[in-house]
Structure 1
Amino acid sequence: MTTQLRALVNARLIDGTGSPARARSTVIIDGERIVEVTDDRPLPVSVEVVDLGGATLMPGLIDCHTHHAAWAQSLVTHPEPLGLLVSQTVAALKVTVEAGITTARDLGGLERGFVDAVDRGVIPGPRLQTSLIIVSPTNSLMDHHPVSGGAINSRGRYEIWPGLPEPWCDGPVAARAKVREVIRMGADVIKVAMTGSMTFAARRPHRPLFTEEELAAIVDEAHLEGIPVCAHAHGDPGAILAVRAGVDTIEHGTYLSEECAREMADRGTWYVPTMCISNWHSTLSQASVRAHTADMPARHRESIARAVRLGVRIAAGTDTNPFHGFGRTGMELELLVEAGMTEAEAITVATDHSSQCLGMSADVGTVAAGKFADLLIVDGDPHRDIRLLQDASRRTAVLKGGQFMSGSLLSIADAHSRRTIAVTA
């Protein structure tokens, strides 16, 4: 089966590598993939041409930390009907890709069937990796045991989505077995709860939850299978214990110490700061949470500055969930700029660097020949104003695998599919 080449011409190209933008660029697409990136030049009349009129063309954004189906981890805390919850996840995946986020890693709640549904074109969404669950010990991040009783299962736990394994394990033998179970059920990555949550003061954000022996078993078993491990960890000593155990990424890292950041730099550990969620907790969450998270954004910015200074590899993640909405990577980039990055650095974090963090750099993350045509086209210059990435009215088009997913160019592309037009001189 042959496909017609499509050329996106007259683009201001930000290729994701951190290089300066290039005016009057052309990206030629054959089916799902880019076949050429060049300066504007004459093209054969057989090539379908879309003139971008100088709009910025850049890689689709990548979100390394999302929760499209957080509800699935504790059904009893969500009184809505199951069909409604599933429908909300389908809608969330659509919102995410239409916002220009063409790849995402879901770190707790998303059952494998949703990933397969996106891959097969049943529902729209970004390219997905999933951890299925957050591996946790008893009395920790994911143990929502009701003190006064309540609707729990025969093992004394809240019910979770049937397609997910239970997240709890205690002791190194059980921890190793849990990793095997999670991988068997289709996980692309293992997520481990290494410190408490910012939303519950009683579960402190510094204390290690797993022991050194338990964590060593988790990391060893996952790495034997070639599966990365990311650790929910806000600060030392839990964060540094995770780094020394060999986890691949630290998620949140709100209170990174100098020692921990230095070890991350030395070991090549990725840092996914998730500034969006700390900003949300400290401003929009309920009063009881705001009371003990007021300093989070400032401390988070200090951690990012420390990481940048020491050379820690940084990727982009939002920790988006139904509480503050989906498709928020543009906001994360604005917050990274507020933390001291340039606009160009923040864009590179959410494209090239994030693709490396996910082990997907051969296919996504930059605009280059051979990679998927996962592209974001915006009206304006995000190198000058990063905030325009959050403005839907400036979102000219989102392409995933060469297909137009959203944006004002969608109708133009449909018209072009019915005829071939030549390059305008």
Structure 2
Amino acid sequence: MGKIAVSASAPETLRAIRTDRLFDGERAYGPSTVLLSGPTVEDVLPGHGPLPAHIPVSDHGPGSCLLPGLIDPHTHLCLNAGSAPFAHLERSDDAAVLGDAGQAAARALRAGITTVRDLGDRSFLGLTLEHKGNGAQLPEILAAGPPLTSIGGHCHSMGGAAEGQDALRAGVRERSRRGCHTVKVMASGGMLTSGSRPFLPQFTATELRSVVVESHRHGLLAAAHAHDDRSILMAVRAGFDSVEHADFFTADGVAPNPATIAAMAERGTYACITLGERPGAPPLPDSISRRLPAIAALTRLMHEEGVPLLAGSDAGIGPSKPHDVLPHTLAAFVAAGIRPAQALHIATLRAATALRLPRKGRIAPGLHADLLAVAGDPTQDIRALSNVLAVYRGGIVVHRAS
């Protein structure tokens, strides 16, 4: 942290935030003052010492905590979190889907989720929303476009079906040309597409490798949806940056493979675990919900074995997964045995690192002022994340508790 003294001749654009506690993405501190200059953090000062009179101060009061805005690396803005989100998507035109997606993104922002990676849309509407977004009024959106999938495979209705290496590479090039951040591939089947089997691969190892090589050649991240052990291992060996879900499904349960987990840890492959539901909401389908205790135990095991975890919400896939559910995902991580401060690190600095966002995920001079103020101490009680006091996007207050 910087020194408490601030020059009386400091630029008039400076603003200050005072908080009882600060979590900077790595460490927790006591009373702190964060100086903002436009959309960036100018300095972080210990304590609540005097400031020049011309610097306006926001004080979030006793018991407050300031932390970086949360980052959700796995969400679906075009899915409406209803009882039949894919059916709703299929019968809605693009204008209606775009309107729903904008409301979903705004809901995420009000919960302190200042950056989202959209890992599956239709008609590249995630990019449309990203370009249409009114700056601070939405989170930063990192779009992947329609996921690449097999013919008739998981989420094929989103329009990303491809067969063979040439078609897959062409799909990557299209996503690069359009400006996507990530290429998403359905390496295995999934739970929510009729006829798709989540415990079987959809592509060969050679096909998956071709997607990774082409994605990296164009500077894009490559994310593999994979539920079963064989698909997870093929994705790891192919060089995917992250494996989404990575929950080792079998036809009737969950069966972690220690060798695959060791390979993920050795290669540093991110496992984006999509635990967490909104309390009181209708549960996920039984085929998923009955596996949740085993997935929680798997999450702890992978953490203990050194696999770098990410916390993804998978928001939009049902009523228990609204687009502000990420704090409950983190609560599920804590319930699985991960310390609250580590869960916060996973959703801030680690997520920023995984998504190649060097100016996000920390509160430090020169970085983006995407911030979340809450009542309570989330480094001790993760439930404090639900007590939102204010959300800052680029230094601007976009939501304040009434």
TM class by smaller structure: 0.7 to 0.9
Q: 1:349 to 1:77 in 2, by over 3 A?
A: closer
Aligned to 2:60: 52
Amino acid at match of 1:131: A
Matched, 1:378 2:390: no
Of 300, 304, 313, 2:308 maps to 313
Deviations 1:108-140 (A, max 9, x none): 11431110122x53x821111110111011131
Tell me the SS of whatever aligns to 2:299.
helix
> How far apart are the structure 2 equivalents of 1:227 and 1:199?
27
Tell me the SS of whatever aligns to 1:45.
coil
Aligned to 2:276: 276
Aligned to 1:258: 258
Q: Map residues 101-140 of structure 1 onto 2, 5 A cutoff.
A: 101-109=113-121, 110-118=125-133, 120-121=134-135, 124-140=137-153
Matched, 1:29 2:24: no
Q: 1:3 to 1:204 in 2, by over 3 A?
A: farther
Tell me the SS of whatever aligns to 2:245.
strand
Q: 1:87 to 1:370 in 2, by over 3 A?
A: same
Structure 1 position 81, deviation (Å) = 5.4
> How far apart are the structure 2 equivalents of 1:305 and 1:61?
21
> How far apart are the structure 2 equivalents of 1:293 and 1:128?
27
Q: 1:80 to 1:174 in 2, by over 3 A?
A: closer
Matched, 1:387 2:375: no
Deviations 1:24-49 (A, max 9, x none): 21100000000100113221112111
Structure 1 position 308, deviation (Å) = 0.9
> How far apart are the structure 2 equivalents of 1:113 and 1:265?
36
* Contact kept in structure 2, 1:254 and 1:296, CA below 8 Å: no
Of 299, 303, 318, 1:304 maps to 299
> How far apart are the structure 2 equivalents of 1:34 and 1:79?
44
Question: Greater shift after overlay, 197-206 or 265-274?
Answer: 197-206
* Contact kept in structure 2, 1:138 and 1:168, CA below 8 Å: yes
Q: 1:201 to 1:307 in 2, by over 3 A?
A: farther
Structure 1 position 232, deviation (Å) = 0.4
Amino acid at match of 1:37: V
Of 322, 327, 332, 2:329 maps to 332
Deviations 1:65-87 (A, max 9, x none): 0000137x978854345543322
Tell me the SS of whatever aligns to 1:63.
strand
Amino acid at match of 2:206: E
Tell me the SS of whatever aligns to 1:247.
coil
> How far apart are the structure 2 equivalents of 1:126 and 1:3?
27
Structure 1 position 386, deviation (Å) = 1.1
Structure 1 position 88, deviation (Å) = 1.5
- Aligned sequence identity (%): 31
* Contact kept in structure 1, 2:201 and 2:228, CA below 8 Å: no
Normalised to the residue count of structure 1, the TM-score between the two structures is: 0.83
Amino acid at match of 1:48: P
* Contact kept in structure 1, 2:19 and 2:66, CA below 8 Å: no
Amino acid at match of 1:222: S
* Contact kept in structure 1, 2:275 and 2:292, CA below 8 Å: yes
Amino acid at match of 2:71: I
* Contact kept in structure 2, 1:70 and 1:108, CA below 8 Å: no
> How far apart are the structure 1 equivalents of 2:189 and 2:276?
18
Amino acid at match of 1:114: L
> How far apart are the structure 1 equivalents of 2:346 and 2:88?
37
> How far apart are the structure 2 equivalents of 1:77 and 1:397?
32
* Contact kept in structure 2, 1:93 and 1:124, CA below 8 Å: no
Tell me the SS of whatever aligns to 1:308.
helix
Question: Greater shift after overlay, 209-218 or 294-303?
Answer: 294-303
Structure 1 position 399, deviation (Å) = 0.3
Aligned residues: CA RMSD: 2.3
Structure 1 position 23, deviation (Å) = 1.7
Aligned to 1:63: 72
Matched, 1:209 2:208: no
Q: 1:183 to 1:70 in 2, by over 3 A?
A: farther
Matched, 1:352 2:349: yes
* Contact kept in structure 1, 2:276 and 2:331, CA below 8 Å: no
Aligned to 2:25: 16
Tell me the SS of whatever aligns to 2:20.
strand
Normalised to the residue count of structure 2, the TM-score between the two structures is: 0.87
Q: 1:56 to 1:135 in 2, by over 3 A?
A: same
* Contact kept in structure 2, 1:316 and 1:332, CA below 8 Å: yes
* Contact kept in structure 1, 2:98 and 2:129, CA below 8 Å: no
> How far apart are the structure 2 equivalents of 1:354 and 1:312?
14
* Contact kept in structure 2, 1:253 and 1:303, CA below 8 Å: no
* Contact kept in structure 2, 1:4 and 1:48, CA below 8 Å: no
Tell me the SS of whatever aligns to 1:7.
strand
Deviations 1:173-209 (A, max 9, x none): 2111111112112211000001111235842222111
Aligned to 1:150: none
Aligned to 1:87: 99
